[in-house]
Amino acid sequence: MSRIPPDHPRYLSLVTRDKVVEGVKIGITDIHGLIAHGRGETFDYLIGEKTTDMAAYAQRAAVAMLLLAKRPVISVNGNTAALVPDELVTLADITRAKLEVNLFHRSEARIHKIIRHLKSRGAGVVLGHKGDARLDLSHGRAIVDKDGIYSADVMLVPLEDGDRCQTLVNMDKKVIAIDLNPLSRTSLSATVSIVDNIIRSIPNMIQFARDMKEVEPYRLQKVVDLYDNRKVLSSAMYEINETLKNEAVRQGIPWNNFP
């Protein structure tokens, strides 16, 4: 990793970027993951690089859903494996979810590398190598494990592809997406759309899971029933709008004062 001075104003962002670069170097992240990360950074800037109240509301509902699930699965790709491997293992453990590696740019070598990477961080069984079932899709994300994603009732899909998200929803699964872009097809089609950075979202979800683990199922169900994903999406869009508007106002030029 490159040496980043801790007093650099963009320290956290640069360290995070370095983790994705390192993921590419050690072969767990595809090179396209760098572009996906850049897109995420842009939206993170626009939401103020913080977990908004509405993102926390979505995280809480998502955890309630995972705790209530019969067959919960957390889907892992190259970026999430590079950024939050320990946290994914912890969240899977508390929520009893299976971890399954699922890649857009699928290669057997990379699947095995990510499985080894997660196991080195304490994961037990990690699915994704069998590939004995198919979703109705034309790219690598179609190949899944029968006893994992294929039969899951609730899925957490950090950094999902829009196509597959829609396909999973069409299969009547509850799909929880973590995606900084509230306009992506993923965010627009998920059951729960967490518009937050995975580096903040997964640790928050671990905290919610610890707090809610002993809560009675009917109370968890109430959290899920009262959840409204349209509010979450529109508030993220308003939030971005606000950031831009406030910054424009700060420049001191009145609206419409242009030639």
Where along the sequence are the contacts to ligand ATP (CB under 6 A)?
A: 36-37, 39-40, 43, 159, 161-162, 178-181, 184-186, 197-198
Alpha carbon distance 40, 99 (integer Å): 23
Name the closest residue to Mg ion (Cβ). 161
CB of 152 to ligand ATP, least distance (A): 19
Query: Per the structure block, which two tokens stand in for 213?
Result: 């683990």
In the region spanning residues 161 to 190, those forming contacts with Mg ion, defined by CB under 5 A, are 161-162
Provide the CB-side half-sphere exposure for 114 (13 A, CA). Answer: 32
Alpha carbon distance 142, 163 (integer Å): 10
CB of 36 or CB of 56, closer to ligand ATP? 36
For 112, the enclosing helix (H) or strand (E) is helix 108-120
Closest CA to 193 of 207, 180, 208, 210: 180
Name the closest residue to ligand ATP (Cβ). 40
Alpha carbon distance 234, 123 (integer Å): 36
Query: Per the structure block, which two tokens stand in for 2?
Result: 């490159």
CB of 137 to ligand ATP, least distance (A): 12
Q: Are 162 and 187 a contacting pair, CB within 8 Å?
A: no
CB of 141 or CB of 220, closer to ligand ATP? 141
Q: Total number of residues binding Mg ion (CB under 5 A)?
A: 2
113 binds, among ligand ATP, Mg ion, none (CB under 5 to 8 A by kind): none
Task: Quickly list DSSP for 12-79.
Answer: HHHHHHHHHHHHHHTTSS-THHHHHHHHHHHHHHHTTSS--HHHHHHHHHHHHHHHH-SSEEEEE-HH
CB of 19 or CB of 119, closer to ligand ATP? 19
43 binds, among ligand ATP, Mg ion, none (CB under 5 to 8 A by kind): ligand ATP
CB of 158 to Mg ion, least distance (A): 14
Interaction of residue 30 with Mg ion, rule CB under 5 A = no
The count of residues in the chain is: 259
Known binding residue 186? Answer is yes
Known binding residue 74? Answer is no
CB of 145 or CB of 160, closer to ligand ATP? 160
Known binding residue 197? Answer is yes
Known binding residue 198? Answer is yes
CB of 221 to Mg ion, least distance (A): 32
How many helices and strands, by DSSP H and E, does the chain display?
11, 8
Instruction: State the binding site.
Output: 17, 39, 179-181, 185-186, 197-198
Q: Which residues bind Mg ion (CB under 5 A)?
A: 161-162
**Residues of each annotated binding site for ATP:** 17, 39, 179-181, 185-186, 197-198
